[in-house]
Chains A and B, each alone.
Chain A
């Protein structure tokens, strides 16, 4: 903030003045009584004094009828320009305004009247309460900051006796603490705080509510978890459906098996019934067949008798025929012999042609060919043996591989078992860790409970003591309050106002106190009444004597029925002023004195001092009372739950009974060497346990798989061993020996085969020679055959005659025999025997079964089969359901989804913990900072002490400033002294430095109204430099009558140029004399005339 311009009109002795300030160091100079302090006062009034305040009246010039007014333009920290305008006159409706401007020239009114002060005080935050409140002050308010920045000329050292505790509200305290906290704050702490705040703001809103919208870092994690959970739930439903389908399928399989057994049983029963039914039918049929066969046999016997007769007759005819046949046969025999001879010859030719050799050769060849066949068969057998031997060898090789594979798998199993056991042990140990940690925590809790119980008991005792002290303080407060009330003394401000009024009254009385004396001679008897000044009226009874009346200022003489004579001293204006003051005294002063029960202002002051003393006592007592009450509340709060704590302790004792703390701690230390047990986190242990469980599960799954492989490998080994044994048993020797033997035999057989084939070739040469000889023998035999055939034809013709006779008889016999043949006695007899045998073979069954019984059994079987079909259909449905639900695919996805949920839960929990953690961190940091900032006085003391030490060449150091910024001690040449003990000049310098430092940190303007008047030139020179340095940070306005203390001659303004800027605005010299229009007598008279016209 900085002041830009101030304009005074009719303000004290200044008729008008406008001063434009520079942004940095301003040296405002002028001779004494020019109005420098008035200027400072005007600025204070513009900012702090209510227009309706009676204190404003003192700004009115002694000329009546004009309204003192001030207009102040300032720029706030945000760069906005403000203009405040105030007129001070209680009996006139003078409006004050507050306006703002963006461009510094055109203004918009923001507030009027009472609201102006409210807004300005809020904006300044200088520890001045807003008007109208209970803590509001009347008159010019004073606060620590006001004293620092706008101290009056005579109040230079007041800052050293003040503190923030005296402010009427906390705004100044807060503002200063904030500014000084920033000073006190370590940059590293600020960075950490900012970073923590930033992190906290990610999770929480400004009201402390956890963010839940899209901006929340937890939101994506929550959404991810939700999505994973939904996916997992969906898959679980699918998996359950698959499991249900699988179980139902399994149940159906069992039902199907049972129904199939039922069907098989019924089918067996039906088969038995069918057999019985067939046996019944067969028995009936056998009986009928026997009867028919016996009848047929009797008929055949009759036909046989007729045949016998005919055969006798035929015998005779045939004898004749035989004789002719004999002759023909002899001839035919010869023909046959010739044919045989020829046939033999032809056969010899064919044999030679086809067999190419003699019989021996043929035999040998045949033998050779048989030999070849044998050898080839032998070879085939050998090749078969060879193949078997090769297979046996392969099997043996496979057996070796299988054994190696089995051994390898066994080794892997051993290793996996070891790994699984290790993992299991690690898992068990991790589980044990959690239990141990839990027990250890319970022990810790037990210790904490013991401590808490003790603390509560102590708190209870302390609370009893505190209560006693509170009772005592309450009594003090009550008594003191009663005393204050009884005293009925006004507060200091009211007293000051009353005192000022009294002073003014006395002054006016003095000015009007000219002294009056009236000597009244009553010429006629006349009663008169006289009143002198403020005294009671005196009635003079009727008489004719003289009456003398004396008064200081006024006198009234009442001549009843004649005249009322009023005499007063002084000018009319003075009298009017006095009248007004008297009226005010009556309204304000006298009631105050009356209430206080005192007669004089001095007595009132004594009463006020007594009141203040009592108030201090009351304040101290109330403060202590509050402190003690707070202490009591704290102690009571600390003691709350004493019984429960005792009960909890007992319960915890019970809970931890049997736990040996030393043993437990030893186990935990052994398990977690080098780690502080308090740092062990159950979450971490659980995470470790989960990791171990997963590892164990993986090892276990691996082991199961390996065992399955081992089982399979063993089966393979067993199968191959069996095969090998069979091979060895079949071969009677080892496969390798068998293979060698067979190879040798094949070699031998192949050699034999070659020998036999050579022999066959030799035999074929011999066969060609034999063929030519056989051809000659065949031609000779053909000729003998032709002669024999002619002789045979003659014999045959004789035989044919006899043959005709026989033929007739045979015709008849044939007819009979044909009939006989048709009936076949043997068959008939056989049929009878067969029928009997059949009858014997088909005895009547144990149970006669008819078709109806079989049909009923068939119906029952059909029903069972239908049920079976229904069950099979249901099974197919269930298989279909299982196919739809997915089985193992769903299981795989479910496992993935469960892992995803687990991970998302962990992530969210971590993020939630982080959110809570960052909140806790920020709160704890702020608490620590708060604790630290309560001692900002120490921080403030540093720069003040540093400058003061420089100023005094190290003579002064170790300045102490309290938490409320009350100045404490300072060390002077090694001896600690109070600030009050310093010389006037030193106090003035220390106060100025302190005020400058405060102004620098508030970035607020400071007015030094001749505040270094007691400072020697050497130190003043140093101060000028300090002021220049300070003015780089904030606006400094120095009022002085010795401009050459601050300004070099070149910087002095000249006539007509009241303002000189130097250093690019760093320094502004203001010759106030050229800017101020003071009241001149003629102006005063004109104003007075205007006022009373």
Chain B
């Protein structure tokens, strides 16, 4: 075999993890929750589409595919439907790994008697035993072990078999756990640094951390977290990808970060009306927006800000400009100019505003109530 022949890609993999199907998104108002939950399912179409385009030999799904070991029927049924619709037959294999969120339990979806397992097409394999071994592609083998509890101090990667001296196959490992480990932090399913090199793996597919990253030391076989394909919180850095992995016959490994997320999560501080106007210019249909509101607004600006926020948020019947919106803090009306606003109003409204302003100035709870009443009067007067 010549050098050129050895540089031929022998194995193509798509590596993904942390789908968290059925995650509740409790911090969000009800009408966004469904949208965000569905997004987690929708992104699977992009993942499977990418696998098709890249003609991968296998898809490695490295755990936490469901948010809980027993997700609602809707979620496993939806995944099952998508998998069954794939026309892959024996062209490529999909490996599903139970993670710490959805460990392999007798009552979980991974149990052999569960309708999810029973309904899976032939090209889907569930890693349902420690020391799982399966051939993938040309002269390549996958080793993996599932999480069997939500929490453990077991290093699943370290327990995988070591490369034998005469074993020249491409060896790929897949486990779910944490490489992040330092004092004061509890590790769940810890993974030792450079365990891939120690065990003789050419590539170690990991799941758990929601951000994309290679955790191996320089020059060592890659240990990659693809991150979650759709973001799940504002704290995540660089989520929304899968990893495309190419391994040559001489076992040279290349991997690529491939974006698949349909949604973007942004945090914006809003102190002035200008901040909101800028946001109004953006296309936020596929953005989950966290607005940290503060500052006092003059009546006109306040009115405009409320309108812009309403536009962003939408209501029960209409979608807003933003795909999702989480408000922290609140807009505050600067009442110093409110009396000017009511100058042209009828006497009764003017007197009402004046009285409310007096109560507001008294402070305390009553003052707070009066301030809101003043805001309501302002809104009503603007709307009629």
- Are B383 and A920 closer than 8 Å at their CB atoms? no
Residues of chain A in range 151-189 having any CB-CB distance to chain B below 8 Å: 186, 188-189
- Are B186 and A914 closer than 8 Å at their CB atoms? no
Residues from chain A with a CB closer than 8 A to the CB of B332 are: 679, 681, 684
Fill in one digit per residue for A879-891: 1 if any B CB lies within 8 Å of its CB, else 0. 1101111111110
Point out the residue from B182, B333, B347, B383 that lies within 8 Å of A711, measured CB to CB. B182
Report the minimum CB–CB distance from B66 to chain A (whole Å). 12
Residues from chain B with a CB closer than 8 A to the CB of A269 are: none
Residue of A nearest to B23 (CB): A896
Report the minimum CB–CB distance from A376 to chain B (whole Å). 24
Cβ of B356 under 8 Å from chain A: yes
Q: Which of B26, B296, B370, B383 has the most CB of A within 10 A?
A: B26
Q: Which of A191-199, A545-553, A771-779 binds B?
A: A191-199
- Are A394 and B219 closer than 8 Å at their CB atoms? yes
- Are B186 and A883 closer than 8 Å at their CB atoms? no
Cβ of B49 under 8 Å from chain A: no
Fill in one digit per residue for B176-200: 1 if any A CB lies within 8 Å of its CB, else 0. 0000101000101000010000000
Q: Which of A279-287, A657-665, A921-929, A990-998 binds B?
A: A921-929
Residues from chain A with a CB closer than 8 A to the CB of B328 are: 687, 690-691, 694
Residues from chain B with a CB closer than 8 A to the CB of A191 are: 380, 384
Residues from chain B with a CB closer than 8 A to the CB of A676 are: 334-336
Residue of A nearest to B187 (CB): A888
- Are A687 and B368 closer than 8 Å at their CB atoms? no
Cβ of B377 under 8 Å from chain A: yes
Residues from chain A with a CB closer than 8 A to the CB of B329 are: 684, 687-688, 690-691
Report the minimum CB–CB distance from B219 to chain A (whole Å). 5
Residues from chain A with a CB closer than 8 A to the CB of B101 are: 889
Docked pose: A694 CA to B234 CA in angstroms: 12
Cβ of A369 under 8 Å from chain B: no
- Are A879 and B153 closer than 8 Å at their CB atoms? yes
Cβ of B107 under 8 Å from chain A: no
Counting from the closest, the 6 A-B pairs by CB-CB distance are: A883-B149, A887-B151, A917-B372, A900-B26, A676-B336, A191-B384
Residues of chain A in range 862-916 having any CB-CB distance to chain B below 8 Å: 879-880, 882-890, 896-897, 899-900, 903, 910, 913-914, 916
Residue numbers of B with Cβ under 8 A of A are 24, 26-27, 30, 100-101, 148-153, 180, 182, 186, 188, 193, 217-219, 235, 292, 294, 296, 328-330, 332-336, 345-349, 351-352, 355-356, 359-364, 368-373, 375-377, 380-381, 383-384
Report the minimum CB–CB distance from A565 to chain B (whole Å). 83
Query: Contacts A882-B151, A896-B27: A888 and B186 contacting too (C-beta < 8 A)?
Result: yes
- Are B217 and A716 closer than 8 Å at their CB atoms? yes
Residues of chain A in range 688-717 having any CB-CB distance to chain B below 8 Å: 688, 690-691, 694-695, 698, 701, 705, 708, 711-712, 716
Residues from chain A with a CB closer than 8 A to the CB of B356 are: 920-921, 924
Residue of A nearest to B350 (CB): A928
Cβ of A678 under 8 Å from chain B: yes
Cβ of A1032 under 8 Å from chain B: no
- Are A678 and B151 closer than 8 Å at their CB atoms? no
Cβ of A242 under 8 Å from chain B: yes
Residues from chain B with a CB closer than 8 A to the CB of A910 are: 330
- Are A887 and B150 closer than 8 Å at their CB atoms? yes
Residues from chain A with a CB closer than 8 A to the CB of B372 are: 913-914, 916-917
Residues from chain A with a CB closer than 8 A to the CB of B26 are: 228, 231, 896-897, 899-900
- Are B373 and A887 closer than 8 Å at their CB atoms? no
Residue of A nearest to B237 (CB): A702
Point out the residue from A228, A690, A900, A928 that lies within 8 Å of B348, measured CB to CB. A928
Query: Contacts A675-B336, A681-B332, A716-B217: A444 and B371 contacting too (C-beta < 8 A)?
Result: no
- Are A398 and B218 closer than 8 Å at their CB atoms? yes
Range of interface residues on A (Cβ < 8 Å): 35 or more
Residues from chain A with a CB closer than 8 A to the CB of B180 are: 705, 708
Docked pose: A920 CA to B356 CA in angstroms: 8
Docked pose: A395 CA to B220 CA in angstroms: 11
- Are B218 and A444 closer than 8 Å at their CB atoms? no
Docked pose: A708 CA to B381 CA in angstroms: 56
Residue of B nearest to A896 (CB): B26
Residue numbers of A with Cβ under 8 A of B are 186, 188-189, 191-192, 195-196, 199, 224, 228, 231, 242, 246, 394-395, 397-398, 401-402, 405, 441, 444-445, 448, 672, 675-676, 678-679, 681-684, 687-688, 690-691, 694-695, 698, 701, 705, 708, 711-712, 716, 720, 879-880, 882-890, 896-897, 899-900, 903, 910, 913-914, 916-918, 920-921, 924-925, 927-929, 931-932
Inter-chain contact count A-B, CB under 8 Å?
A: 185
- Are B330 and A928 closer than 8 Å at their CB atoms? no
Residues from chain A with a CB closer than 8 A to the CB of B24 are: 896
- Are A925 and B348 closer than 8 Å at their CB atoms? yes
Residues from chain A with a CB closer than 8 A to the CB of B375 are: 917
Residue of B nearest to A887 (CB): B151
Residues from chain A with a CB closer than 8 A to the CB of B152 are: 879, 882-883
Docked pose: A708 CA to B148 CA in angstroms: 29
Report the minimum CB–CB distance from A342 to chain B (whole Å). 52
Residues from chain B with a CB closer than 8 A to the CB of A195 are: 380, 383-384
Docked pose: A953 CA to B361 CA in angstroms: 52
Report the minimum CB–CB distance from A678 to chain B (whole Å). 5
11 A-B pairs within 8 Å (CB atoms) are namely A448-B362, A678-B360, A678-B363, A705-B180, A708-B180, A882-B151, A900-B26, A914-B372, A916-B369, A920-B356, A929-B348
Docked pose: A897 CA to B26 CA in angstroms: 7
Report the minimum CB–CB distance from B212 to chain A (whole Å). 15
- Are B27 and A899 closer than 8 Å at their CB atoms? yes
Residue of A nearest to B294 (CB): A688
Point out the residue from A199, A897, A924 that lies within 8 Å of B352, measured CB to CB. A924
Residues from chain A with a CB closer than 8 A to the CB of B294 are: 684, 687-688, 691
- Are A679 and B384 closer than 8 Å at their CB atoms? no
Docked pose: A672 CA to B347 CA in angstroms: 32
- Are A716 and B218 closer than 8 Å at their CB atoms? yes
- Beyond A231-B26, A679-B333, A920-B356, 6 additional pairs, beta carbon < 8 A: A195-B384, A242-B151, A681-B368, A705-B180, A927-B352, A932-B347
Q: Which of A916, A928, A929 has the most CB of B within 10 A?
A: A928
Point out the residue from B348, B352, B363, B368 that lies within 8 Å of A445, measured CB to CB. B363
- Are A884 and B336 closer than 8 Å at their CB atoms? no
Docked pose: A687 CA to B336 CA in angstroms: 21
Residues from chain A with a CB closer than 8 A to the CB of B218 are: 397-398, 401-402, 405, 716, 720
Report the minimum CB–CB distance from A877 to chain B (whole Å). 13
Docked pose: A683 CA to B336 CA in angstroms: 18
Residues from chain B with a CB closer than 8 A to the CB of A917 are: 369-373, 375-376
Residues from chain A with a CB closer than 8 A to the CB of B346 are: 186, 188-189
- Are A887 and B219 closer than 8 Å at their CB atoms? no
Query: Contacts A188-B345, A394-B219, A928-B352: A444 and B151 contacting too (C-beta < 8 A)?
Result: no
Docked pose: A885 CA to B100 CA in angstroms: 12
Docked pose: A746 CA to B217 CA in angstroms: 32
Query: Contacts A195-B380, A716-B218, A883-B152: A683 and B349 contacting too (C-beta < 8 A)?
Result: no
Docked pose: A77 CA to B180 CA in angstroms: 81
- Are B330 and A684 closer than 8 Å at their CB atoms? yes
Residues from chain B with a CB closer than 8 A to the CB of A679 are: 296, 332-336, 360, 371
Report the minimum CB–CB distance from A409 to chain B (whole Å). 13
- Are A921 and B373 closer than 8 Å at their CB atoms? yes
Residues from chain A with a CB closer than 8 A to the CB of B217 are: 398, 716
Docked pose: A931 CA to B350 CA in angstroms: 13
Docked pose: A899 CA to B352 CA in angstroms: 38
Residues from chain B with a CB closer than 8 A to the CB of A927 are: 352, 355
- Are A932 and B369 closer than 8 Å at their CB atoms? no
Residues from chain A with a CB closer than 8 A to the CB of B384 are: 188, 191-192, 195
Docked pose: A1054 CA to B206 CA in angstroms: 110
Query: Contacts A192-B381, A199-B376: A889 and B334 contacting too (C-beta < 8 A)?
Result: no
Residues from chain B with a CB closer than 8 A to the CB of A684 are: 294, 329-330, 332
Docked pose: A916 CA to B362 CA in angstroms: 16
Docked pose: A397 CA to B219 CA in angstroms: 9
- Are B235 and A903 closer than 8 Å at their CB atoms? no
